[in-house]
A and B are shown apart, each in its own frame.
Chain A
C-alpha cells in the first residue's frame, strides 16, 4: 500500500518534472520537422499536378502506353464501332468503369507511395525516436538522473512517469504529421487518414516503448536507436521474405493491408501482409510495447550512476 502511494506520487511528479523541463529547441526536433515539411512539399506538388491516380501509370514493360491511353483507346473503339448498339454499350461500360477506377485510384496510390514506404518506413520511426530517446536519454547524458534517483520514490515510477510524459508528444506528432501529409494529398489522403489513423497511432506507441527503453537503459542510446530504425525498420522492413516480421512497421502494415482489402483494394501483392489477422497484429504490437516497458522497468531499476568519480 505504501509502495503504491509512493509509486503514484513518483509517476505524478516525474510527469510534472518532465512537462516543466520540456523544451522544443533541440536540433533533432528540427530535423524531424524538416523531414515533415520536405515530404509535405513533395505531396503538395504531386497533388497540385493532380497525379494521385493511375492516369500515367504504365503496365510493366510496355513503353509509351499508359492507363489513360487505354481508356481513350476503348472510347475510340466504341466510337468506331458505334453502329452496333451492343458493342457500344459494352465499350462505354468498360471505359466508364475504368475512368471511375482512375478517379478513385488516389487512395491506393497515396497509400502505397507515401504511407507504406515513406511514412511507415522512415518518418514514423525517426519521429518517435526523436521524442522517446530524449525522455530518459537526455537525463542520462545530461547526468541529471541523479536528482530523480535521490528521491524516495520507486525507480519504476520514474520510468513509467517519464514514459507517460513523452507518450502524448509521440502520438500527437506522428498523427499530426500523418494528418498534415493527408491534407496535402487532398480527398484521397483524408480518406486514407480516416482509415489508417489507428494503426499509425498503435505503431507510434510501440515505437515509443522500444525507443524509450533504449534511451533509458542503453549507453549511446541514440546511435543504437538510429541503427535500429535504419537497419531493422527501414531496410529489413522493406525487404521481401519473412525477415521483415522482426520490424514493428510490418504489423502496422498488416493492419493497413487488411483494412484496405476489406474495401477491395490490394495494396501490395505477395508481401505476406495477409498472414496476420488484424487482431493478431494489434496483439503483437501491444505485446512488443508491453514487453519493452517491463524490460525497461527491470533494467532501469538496476542502473548505477557511474562516471561521477
Chain B
C-alpha cells in the first residue's frame, strides 16, 4: 500500500487528489504548489509551526479555497456542500458553542449534517461511546477540559462516517491513556478502509500509527513517502557550520584539526571575513562535540557557532524533536 504518491491522472477514484495547490494569506504564501495524492490508510503530515499544515488541512476540508490548483475528494470538490459529505475534519481550533453540553452539540451537528432525526440519539450515543465521552456527555462545553473538547471534535469528525478523515493535532491536550485509545481507534478506522490524514507534533504516536509521512516546510512538500526515505534524504544533505574565532592565527590550526575527523567533508575560509571558518558536514551533532573538545583542549574560544543552511536542521528538528 502506498500512502503518498506522485499525482496520477485519475482524480475520481483516489480519496484525496491535490494538484499544484497554492494558497496566499495576504502577502504570505501559505502553501506553495503542493501536489499530493493519498491512498486508503493513515498518512502523517509533519512540519514545524507555520509550515502550512493547517492551511493544507483547511483546504482539503473545504474551509479554504485554493488560489491556484485544484483538490478533489473522490472526484468531488471539497469546497462545495457535496464535498462536505466525504470529509470529516477535526480542526486545530478551540471555539465552541460554549453554553451547550457535549451531547447537545453532537445532536445539533448531526441534525445539520442531515441524519434522520429518529436515528440521531442512538448514533450520538454510539459515537460518544467510541471516543469515551459517554459518562460526561451532559457537561457543558465551556466547562470541559482540553482533552474532552479534543475528543468532542473527533466525535464531530466521525459523525457522518466519512471515507476521508482529516485530523489536525488530535493528540494535543490528551492524556497518555487517551492517546493510546485514540491510536487504537485510528488503527481500527484504517482497517475498515478509511483514509486518514493526521498532523501532530507527537512523533511517538505518529510512529505507532503509520510509516507514511508527508513533510511540509514553508508551504512546500519536502518529502513524501515512508519515513525512512525522508530520514535518508535529510541525513544525506550536507550542512555548513560557521565558526567565529577571536584570533586569525588559530583559525588555520582549528581547520587542520577539524579536517582530521572523517565526518567533516570540507573546510574553507571565506574571503574578506578574517575570523570565520566554514565546516561542511553530514553529521553536525558529532562535529559539534568534536569542536567542543578541540576548543577546550587547545584553549581556542569559539565566539559564535551557527548552522548556515538552516533548512535541513529545521526539518530535522520537526522530525526528531517534535
> Which residues of A pack against B, CB within 8 Å?
6, 9-10, 13-14, 16-17, 20-21, 23, 142-144, 146-155, 302, 304-306, 308-309
B81 touches A308 (CB 8 A): no
A151 touches B91 (CB 8 A): no
A147 touches B63 (CB 8 A): no
A150 touches B108 (CB 8 A): no
* B84 nearest CB neighbor, chain A only: A152
Contacts of B93 in A (CB 8 A): 143, 146, 308
Contacts of A147 in B (CB 8 A): 96-97, 109, 112, 156
Whether a CB of chain A sits under 8 angstroms from the CB of B92 is yes
Known A-B contacts A6-B81, A304-B63; A153 and B114 likewise in contact (beta carbons under 8 Å): yes
Q: How many residues of B contact A (CB 8 A)?
A: 32
Known A-B contacts A147-B156, A152-B114; A23 and B99 likewise in contact (beta carbons under 8 Å): yes
Known A-B contacts A14-B112, A16-B111; A142 and B84 likewise in contact (beta carbons under 8 Å): no
Contacts of A6 in B (CB 8 A): 81, 114
- Chain B positions 151 through 192: 1 when the CB is less than 8 Å from some CB of chain A, otherwise 0: 000001000100000000000000000000000000000000
* A304 nearest CB neighbor, chain B only: B64
Known A-B contacts A10-B112, A13-B112; A309 and B95 likewise in contact (beta carbons under 8 Å): no
Contacts of A10 in B (CB 8 A): 112
Known A-B contacts A150-B63, A306-B25; A144 and B84 likewise in contact (beta carbons under 8 Å): no
Contacts of A146 in B (CB 8 A): 63, 91, 93, 95
* B64 nearest CB neighbor, chain A only: A304
CA A149 to CA B95, docked complex, whole Å: 14
CA A154 to CA B82, docked complex, whole Å: 8
CA A279 to CA B218, docked complex, whole Å: 60
> Which residues of B pack against A, CB within 8 Å?
25, 50, 54, 58, 61-65, 81-85, 89, 91-93, 95-97, 99-100, 104, 108-109, 111-114, 156, 160
Minimum distance in angstroms from B37 CB to a CB of chain A: 23
CA A147 to CA B89, docked complex, whole Å: 10
CA A90 to CA B96, docked complex, whole Å: 77
Known A-B contacts A6-B81, A152-B114; A144 and B97 likewise in contact (beta carbons under 8 Å): yes
Minimum distance in angstroms from B250 CB to a CB of chain A: 46
Known A-B contacts A144-B96, A304-B65, A308-B54; A17 and B113 likewise in contact (beta carbons under 8 Å): no
Contacts of B50 in A (CB 8 A): 309
A20 touches B108 (CB 8 A): yes
Minimum distance in angstroms from B201 CB to a CB of chain A: 13
Minimum distance in angstroms from B192 CB to a CB of chain A: 21
CA A305 to CA B61, docked complex, whole Å: 11
* B105 nearest CB neighbor, chain A only: A147
Extra inter-chain contacts (8) besides given A16-B111, A147-B96, CB under 8 Å:
A21-B99, A23-B99, A142-B95, A147-B112, A149-B63, A150-B89, A151-B113, A152-B83
CA A54 to CA B96, docked complex, whole Å: 57
Minimum distance in angstroms from A284 CB to a CB of chain B: 34
Known A-B contacts A148-B112, A305-B64, A308-B92; A20 and B81 likewise in contact (beta carbons under 8 Å): no
Known A-B contacts A146-B93, A151-B84; A309 and B54 likewise in contact (beta carbons under 8 Å): yes
Contacts of B63 in A (CB 8 A): 146, 149-150, 304-305
CA A148 to CA B89, docked complex, whole Å: 12
* A142 nearest CB neighbor, chain B only: B95
Minimum distance in angstroms from A136 CB to a CB of chain B: 14
Chosen A-B contacts, 19 in total, with CB atoms closer than 8 Å, are A6-B114, A16-B108, A16-B111, A17-B112, A21-B97, A21-B99, A23-B99, A147-B96, A149-B63, A150-B61, A151-B114, A152-B82, A152-B83, A152-B85, A152-B114, A153-B114, A304-B65, A305-B58, A308-B91
Known A-B contacts A21-B97, A153-B81; A13 and B54 likewise in contact (beta carbons under 8 Å): no
CA A153 to CA B61, docked complex, whole Å: 14
CA A149 to CA B84, docked complex, whole Å: 9
Contacts of B95 in A (CB 8 A): 142-144, 146
CA A148 to CA B156, docked complex, whole Å: 12
Minimum distance in angstroms from A294 CB to a CB of chain B: 19
* A21 nearest CB neighbor, chain B only: B97
Minimum distance in angstroms from B2 CB to a CB of chain A: 29
